[in-house]
Structure 1
Amino acid sequence: MKEVDNLEKGNKLKRIDSSYIIHEITHLLHLESGFLFTVKQLFIRPGKLVRSFIFEDRSKITKPIIFLIFSATLFTVIFHFFHIKYEFFSLNQKIGNIDQYLEKKALSEWVNNHIGYTSLIIGFFIALWLKVFFRKHNYNIYEITVLLCYSFGQTLLIIVVFSLLEFLLKIKLIAIIGVFTGYFYIFWSIGQFFGEKKIINYVKTILCCILGAISFRLILILLATIFYQLGIK
């Protein structure tokens, strides 16, 4: 009843307008400083920033899942607004009698229209492989998932920037360069997290990312097989 008390005291609340809504959203996401600070630090020292978040200070940067979901939302909104086409994960694959289910619009559209959730799922599989390949580091699966939320979120922002440049400059291949830059960033940020001075860490990171993507595809194939067995159209 705080509003009632304020009115009884003669204090009028400020009308809710666009400025109020924008302030509430930015405050929720800590966009005033936290989000921009997070983006900057993830470009400069991603591995060190995530280690700091896990073990030292969690107050200065945007929380991992919020960062990933916001980046994915920004990615989706901008690509939709500028009519930029991008296939996050291709499902076109021919395997016996389940072709129609692998190419089925329901699966394909869900994966490509829910970038944030898809990233979390793929990240989970990559995290499992990272846990196996980097088991001596004693990071648990949740801490590794935090790392992947930041890496994937930053990668989506990178792709957005390059795609906008291609749209504005009308120069083809810029977006493709952005995609490969994003992949490189993921390998670099994860490798740096486990120890930036060892090349083997980057090699294992690349392998884990490939195995994670393959694992995700196998799950999709399993779902397609289940659809086929159940006769779902």
Structure 2
Amino acid sequence: MKVTCKNCNHIYSGHYCSNCGQTAETHRLNFHFLWHEIRHSLFHFDEGILYSGKQLFTRPGHTIREFIEGKRIKHLKPISLVIILASLYGFMYHYFHISFVETTVQRTTETGIDNVKFNEWMGTHYAWTTLLMIPLYTIGTSIAFRKQGYNLVEYFILNTFKASQKLFVHIALFPLLNHFNGTHSMQTLSLVIYLIDVVFIYWTNAQFFNKLSLKKSLLLTLLSQLIFLSCLISLIIVVDLILKSF
């Protein structure tokens, strides 16, 4: 049966308009419609997070490669996922007053950075700082794995999923952060968590770039981390110089 799209007036057959994607069934806006939309949105929202989370810890590189190749319907959109997880972690970070420096040390460091204010800023802007790190990771990955046939946006999506994977890990380990909060052990714990992050990054890369040997994937992963850290240090120096100029 032919249907005239109520959105663009295109005549088509099927459940969705072939021109703009509008659904053929457009029900009247009433309480029944509202309840259906709420249930549908919540169900697919939760399902998307759970599905993506499970895939990122069972077959991370394979599922990200399949997403890039077009298998996307079950996943929550990668940028939405990372923003949700980063916002949750940032709220926890701020609410429990997490500090990676000892509470007994001086409030202001030699560089003039107020530790208390810096930690509070991190907690309230964690989602934005997480998003800022993704392009830096992307630079490292795109340079180290430049011969693997992916473009910059595809490397960005890869690293967006890696950021979500990292956030899942950090949220799972949050009880440890809270337990050792403000103690000297936090510096050791942060190093351990970073090494865990690198292991997951390597595992994901080894699956994603499955045509490479495990040894080469490891070497290129370490190279990408060095490039990322170089970019991060350079960015911090530039920002510090800009702030000092005012």
Q: Which residue of 2 aligns with 1:64?
A: 78
Q: Which structure is higher in helix share?
A: 1
Q: Tell me whether 1:46 sits opposite 2:60 in the alignment.
A: yes
Q: 1:183 to 1:57 in 2, by over 3 A?
A: same
Q: Tell me whether 1:228 sits opposite 2:239 in the alignment.
A: no
Question: 1:139-168 deviations in whole A, cap 9, x for unaligned?
Answer: 111111111111111111211111225657
Q: Which residue of 1 aligns with 2:155?
A: 144
Determine if contact 1:151/1:190 at 8 Å carries over to the other structure: no
Determine if contact 1:123/1:145 at 8 Å carries over to the other structure: yes
* Cα distance, 1:49 vs structure 2: 0.4
Q: Which residue of 1 aligns with 2:200?
A: 185
Distance 2:98 2:114 in 1: 22
Q: What's the secondary structure of 1:61's corresponding residue? A: coil
Larger radius of gyration: 2
Determine if contact 2:134/2:156 at 8 Å carries over to the other structure: yes
The partner residue of 2:214 within 182, 195, 198 is 198
Q: Which residue of 2 aligns with 1:219?
A: 235
Letter in 1 for 2:56: L
Determine if contact 1:159/1:182 at 8 Å carries over to the other structure: no
Determine if contact 1:54/1:143 at 8 Å carries over to the other structure: yes
Determine if contact 1:156/1:182 at 8 Å carries over to the other structure: no
Letter in 1 for 2:149: N
Determine if contact 2:85/2:164 at 8 Å carries over to the other structure: yes
TM-score computed with the length of structure 2 as normaliser: 0.69
Report how many aligned residue pairs link the two structures. 207
The partner residue of 2:90 within 76, 88, 92 is 76
RMSD over aligned Cα atoms: 3.6
Q: What's the secondary structure of 1:84's corresponding residue? A: coil
The partner residue of 2:165 within 154, 173, 177 is 154
Question: 1:30-59 deviations in whole A, cap 9, x for unaligned?
Answer: 333111011011101111001100103111
Listed as ranges, the gaps of 5+ residues in structure 1 are 7-12
Q: Tell me whether 1:127 sits opposite 2:138 in the alignment.
A: yes
Q: 1:84 to 1:111 in 2, by over 3 A?
A: closer
Distance 1:110 1:25 in 2: 32
* Cα distance, 1:169 vs structure 2: 11
Letter in 2 for 1:194: F
The 10-residue stretch of structure 1 (65-74 or 78-87) with the greater mean CA deviation from structure 2: 78-87
Determine if contact 2:90/2:123 at 8 Å carries over to the other structure: no
Question: 1:23-82 deviations in whole A, cap 9, x for unaligned?
Answer: 58735xx33311101101110111100110010311111111111111101111223334
* Cα distance, 1:197 vs structure 2: 4.0
Q: 1:112 to 1:142 in 2, by over 3 A?
A: farther
Listed as ranges, the gaps of 5+ residues in structure 2 are 1-26, 102-107
Q: What's the secondary structure of 1:135's corresponding residue? A: coil
The partner residue of 1:118 within 129, 132, 143 is 129
TM-score computed with the length of structure 1 as normaliser: 0.72
Determine if contact 1:159/1:179 at 8 Å carries over to the other structure: no
Q: What's the secondary structure of 1:44's corresponding residue? A: coil
Distance 2:136 2:222 in 1: 13
Determine if contact 1:38/1:61 at 8 Å carries over to the other structure: yes
Q: Tell me whether 1:164 sits opposite 2:175 in the alignment.
A: yes
The 10-residue stretch of structure 1 (68-77 or 114-123) with the greater mean CA deviation from structure 2: 114-123
* Cα distance, 1:86 vs structure 2: 4.7
Distance 2:208 2:161 in 1: 11
The 10-residue stretch of structure 1 (200-209 or 137-146) with the greater mean CA deviation from structure 2: 200-209
